[in-house]
Amino acid sequence: MKFIRNILNSRSKSDGNFFVEIQNILGFKPKDKELYKRAFTHRSMNKRDQNGTPINYERLEFVGDAMLSSVIATHLYNEVPQGDEGYLTKMRSKVVSREHLNELGKELNLIKLVESKIPKNNFGSNIHGNLFEALVGAIFLDRGYSYCEKFIYNRVIVPHVDIEKLEGKVISYKSLLIEWCQKEKQSFNYNVYEDTGNDELKHFSVKLSINNKVIAKARATSKKKAEEKASKRAFFAFQKKISRAI
């Protein structure tokens, strides 16, 4: 009996610490605490409810993504009355980009709350943004739109949404470079190949050619990252021309 009591007391203390942390992040008291536990449960835990439905944060991510898009879209609509649909869509994409969501998750240090069988240092950078989206989803389902809107306003819009800075922010150098090449009728090619070398992690190298001339090279842990890095280097090589054309 003493052993069981110790386990229950330990679990209770752990849960108590978790919800203190959550309340500090939210700025209000949660109602449905299980939603927030779910928001920080990784699929590696293999948890299921009594109906056999997986318990993890992935479905909450879906809800959080929709809420972020809705609140940010409304804010931009009100703040930039002269912006057309294309402009507003591009600006929203900059705010809710994977890179920016990862930064928001890191800022709140959400990864320290995640329950997982995978060591935290083995996660990729996207875990931070995934947890942020899941948390937003939990807030909406727990407290409704107004609480969710207020959280996004305080944590995202006030500190990070500067219209002038966003206008000049590039979210994908590869997309920008391809757009310029197509507009200017320049041929381009990304030659990507595996380049593990002496590294423990698999790496990829890329050579970016424009009009059959190698303009930039890069190396990263994924093809996508290597292409983006090479595109960024090429962008700065052609910055003046691209800025005039786009």
Domains along the chain? Answer: 16-167 (1.10.1520.10), 173-245 (3.30.160.20)
Lowest average pLDDT, out of 2-16, 31-45, 132-146, goes to: 2-16
Instruction: Give 235's pLDDT tier (boundaries 50, 70, 90).
Output: confident
Residue 8 — pLDDT band, cuts 50, 70, 90? very low
Q: Indicate whether 126 pLDDT > 80.
A: yes
Average pLDDT, the chain: 88
Establish whether 133 is a catalytic residue.
yes
Burial of 200 (0-12, 13-18, 19+ CB in 10 A): exposed
191/230 Cα distance (integer angstroms):
11
Q: Does the reported pTM lie above 0.75?
A: no
Examine the residue annotation and report whether 65 is marked as an active-site residue of this protein. Answer: yes
Residue 187's pLDDT is what? 93
Question: Which token pair is 181?
Answer: 């090449």
Distance of CA 220 to the CA centre of its chain: 19
Q: Which of 15, 21, 61, 65 is catalytic?
A: 65
Give the percent of the chain with pLDDT over 70. 89
**pLDDT tens track for 180-234:** 888 889 999 999 888 766 666 788 999 999 999 999 999 988 888 899 899 889 8
* Catalytic residue of the set 61, 133, 149, 228: 133
Is 142's pLDDT higher than 90? yes
Residues 6+ apart with CB under 8 A from 131: 39, 40, 57, 105, 110, 111, 113, 114
* Residue-level pLDDT at 3: 46
* Token code pair at residue 59: 């479905």
pLDDT of the residue at 244: 61
- Least confident residue range of 18-22, 79-83, 132-136, 160-164: 160-164
